[in-house]
Amino acid sequence: MTLLFRRTRALEAQIDQFLDAVSEGCLVFEQGIADYMRGDRESFELRRRSIGAYEGKADSLRREVETRLYAESLIPDHRGDVLGLLENLDNVIDEAKRTLSQFEVERPEIPEDLAPDYVTLAHASGEAAQHLVLACRAFFRQITAVPDNIHKVYFYEKEADRLADAIKRKIFSADLELARKIHLRYFCLHVETLSDRSEEVADRLAIYAIKRTA
Amino acid sequence: MGWLFLSSGLLLGWSLGANDAANLFGTAVATKMLRFRTAAAVGGLFVVVGAVAGGHGATRTLGRLGAIDAPAGAFMVALAAALSVAFLLVRIGLPVSITQAIVGAIVGWNLFTGSRTDLKALGQLLSSWLLSPLLAAALAALAFVATRAAIPHARVHLLEVDAWTRAGLLFAGAFGAFSLGQNDIANVMGVFVRVSPFPETTLLGPFRASSVDMLFLLGGLAIATGIATYSRRVMLRLGSELTSLSPMAALIVVLSSASVLFLFGSPDLQRLLRAVGAPGWPLVPISATQAVVGAILGISAVRRSGIQHRVLGSIALGWVAAPVLAALIALGGLFVLQNVFELPVRAQPRPVAAAPARVDAPAVPFAPARSAAVSPAVR
């Protein structure tokens, strides 16, 4: 029995580590935005580096898992779906890393009254990503729990849409230069995009889950 | 000369191994759940074990249908079955089986030699052709429904399900190969039982093998050779045709069809069923191919993916076409053997006084085909 599952267990552990990396990366994203809004540049810089490390770890784990799935001809009927899932999930943490990098490069000046709104938006986007990771874990271990988590992804994506819309309205009704308004809207879009990516992956996952139970 | 007559049976065995083993391991090998080498080794080993350990039951039924008692007759019956299967399966593409062809060829021998056809045995064989795919379909449908309901709640990692399925496919393939050897050795070597060229007893190390055991061992090895040499391409073709079948569904198909083969081939199971008061199944050779097709149709019905009426029609057509063609080839071939090559296709009637001496003999010894005399029974 041990022999039968030895290779399987190692690969299971790698998939779990990949999901951990994505989840932790998205938590760091939320904290990074909060640090930036507080003006704590030192802490923000630590978060930015940290998310880069998580993204790198997720990338290398994904490649290892993909190689082993193909090399050992594992799960032939769901291999394509699993690979698609891992690659799209990797795009989510890439998006989080890119957003923090944009903050670091462009250093947008966020008005004080808007800062808490950006933090709330980052939290909603982060929650969407966290529930996506939970849905992915369920896909591997408990397929019946996938819909429970997917509907939360959709909920937080809509919440992020609503918050982003409110922020943009505030921006464009404020007494600011147009260039700054556009710059602030641009960062609102950046923060919101994490939830959009999560929703895209959740859409795919819903189909994969149906295929597994059909 | 006597050994040469066995060649048609060996050809039949090789063909059975090349085609029917693909039903057992096709999806697993095509989807790379199992390596071909592993499948061939396991399949070859268990088919030989099944043939030697339990091939007697179904062979007895086939023997009742037609008591072929001349080596040349047995040769032509096996050859007619092999040729008809090769023509219908390869050229026409009908899912026919050696089982149906051999029955037709034996009836052809009966007609040619004027021997009586045991209608009860024929009835058992014909009903089993209908019953075996239906039974396989019912078993597969039940197992599929149960598995589909259980797996989502099992909280087992996808990769662990994969590992279990992989192990299950190997086990099911081994079980299927054992059942195939047990059930279908009758098709391959059944007609040679009365004319076996082997001595009454052969010592194989510590084992003592009867003439029939040796015949079944040889037939099993022919099937195993078919698996090792030619089944790979059939497996890959079958696997690509059945791509909609998931490994789990493939496992259910193999287990269901192997169970049906076992049910119709195992003397031990028959004894057990009778001991507990259950109806004893007749031990008859059935078609592994049609059991597999039946199981696939059972799963299709549950998935509501549509039953292909064309497939059902081709199975039914095979039930008629294979035995009729085999019988016709057997009639023609026996005529040529007897009248052109002057070989006796049935045993010479023996003088009345000599008859008691042969009553206990298990097999008519291989007589050199010197006699040019045509059997009075067929004149």
The shortest CB-CB distance from B33 to any of A15, A76, A140 is to A76
For residue B209, the cross-strand partners are B202
Most B-contacting residue of A18, A69, A77 (CB-CB within 10 A), to test interface: A77
Is B92 inside any structural domain? yes
Six-digit token pair at A13?
């552990």
**Sign (positive or negative) of CA dihedral B94, B96, B101, B107:** negative
Q: What average pLDDT does this structure show over A150-178?
A: 95
Domains, chain A, in order of start with CATH, read 2-213 (1.20.58.220)
Full residue range of the structural domain in which residue B292 is found: 2-342
Is B355 inside any structural domain? no
Q: Cα separation of A50 and A44, whole Å?
A: 10
Q: Cα separation of B329 and B93, whole Å?
A: 19
Contact at CB, A5 and B163, closer than 8 angstroms:
yes
pLDDT in tens, A119-152: 999 999 999 999 999 999 999 998 889 999 999 9
Chain A residues close to B158, C-beta within 8 Å: 75, 78, 82, 139-141, 212
Arithmetic mean of pLDDT over chain A: 93
Judged by a CB distance cut-off of 8 A, whether residue A112 touches chain B is: no
B158-189 vs B56-65: helix axis angle to the nearest 10? 40
Q: Searching chain A, which residue's CA lies closest to the CA of residue B244?
A: A77
Chain B residues close to A76, C-beta within 8 Å: 31-33, 247
Q: Cα separation of B104 and B82, whole Å?
A: 11
Lowest mean pLDDT among A49-53, A168-172, A201-205, B367-371: B367-371
Question: Which residues 154-193 of B are in CB contact (within 8 Å) with A?
Answer: 155-160, 162-163, 167
* pLDDT at residue B241, as a whole number: 63
Is B144 inside any structural domain? yes
Environment class of A55 (CB within 10 Å of its CB; exposed 0-12, middle 13-18, buried 19+): buried
* pLDDT at residue B290, as a whole number: 78
In terms of phi and psi (left: phi > 0; alpha: psi -120 to 50; beta: otherwise), the region of B373 is beta
Is B374 inside any structural domain? no
List average pLDDT for each run of 10 residues in chain B, which is 379 residues long.
80 84 78 85 92 80 80 88 81 75 90 87 85 92 90 84 89 90 85 83 80 89 89 71 73 90 85 80 80 85 72 74 91 90 74 44 40 35
Question: Which residues 63-82 of B are in CB contact (within 8 Å) with A?
Answer: none
Is B251 inside any structural domain? yes
Q: What average pLDDT does this structure show over A168-186?
A: 94
**Sign (positive or negative) of CA dihedral B129, B134, B137, B138:** negative
* pLDDT at residue B355, as a whole number: 43
Contact at CB, A142 and B303, closer than 8 angstroms:
no
The shortest CB-CB distance from B32 to any of A5, A73, A78 is to A73
Distance from CA of B137 to the nearest CA of A (A): 19
* pLDDT at residue A114, as a whole number: 94
* pLDDT at residue B213, as a whole number: 87
Residue B326 DSSP symbol: H
Is B280 inside any structural domain? yes
In chain B, how many domains are there?
Answer: 1
Distance of CA B198 to the CA centre of its chain: 22
Contact at CB, A144 and B148, closer than 8 angstroms:
no
